[in-house]
Amino acid sequence: MTPVPTTVIRHPKERVRKCSLRFLHDRPEMTFLRGKPDLRFDATGFVLLAVDAEPLSLQDRGHPLLLLDSTWRWLPQLQQCVVGQPLRRSIPGGLRTAYPRVSKLFADPTGGLASIEALYVARKLLGDDDPTLLDGYHWQQEFLAIVARAGL
């Protein structure tokens, strides 16, 4: 299968060297944008991954993905860059992240995943099961085990 075209809008304060997606910058299906305050991205026709949306399904196949990459604290600012009518979808299955969270100031959503985890599962659910997306992700094996236990 052809890889799912994916656009990532990264919050300007997000450190690339600490980002879980940093190993994907050279992939041809990936586009990375910096979410500066003046950016407006027309997401019409894109599947926008969101925690509080209806679950992603095979019926969403054929649409490009849009992933907002930031801390949960900065996400509302980044969402202001998105205009148009995206298809908001969540990752089904009650997955939990393998990434060890350490925020002492903000509560992360229970269903929140690291950006690379959400990207991998979304593409897998759309028929593009590519474990090489997780190459370089420190918690790769732990997350793949979580996905397997969830039956995805």
Lowest mean pLDDT among 78-92, 104-118, 122-136, 137-151: 104-118
Most confident of 42-46, 112-116, 148-152: 42-46
Pick from 111, 110, 107, 128: nearest CA to 119: 128
pLDDT of residue 16: 65
Query: What percent of the chain lies above the pLDDT cut of 90?
Result: 45
Task: Report the pLDDT averaged over residues 16-35.
Answer: 84
> What is the C-alpha to C-alpha distance for residues 141 and 30, in angstroms, rounded to an integer?
23
Reported pTM? 0.86
Q: Three-state DSSP class for 17?
A: helix
Q: For residue 19, count CB atoms less than 10 angstroms from its CB and return exposed for 0-12, middle for 13-18, buried for 19 or more.
A: buried
Give Dmax over CA atoms of the chain in angstroms: 42
What does the pLDDT look like over 110-136, one tens digit per residue? 556 888 999 999 999 998 999 999 998
* Mean pLDDT, the chain, whole residue set: 84
pLDDT of residue 31: 94
Query: Around Cβ 71, how many Cβ atoms within 10 Å?
Result: 13
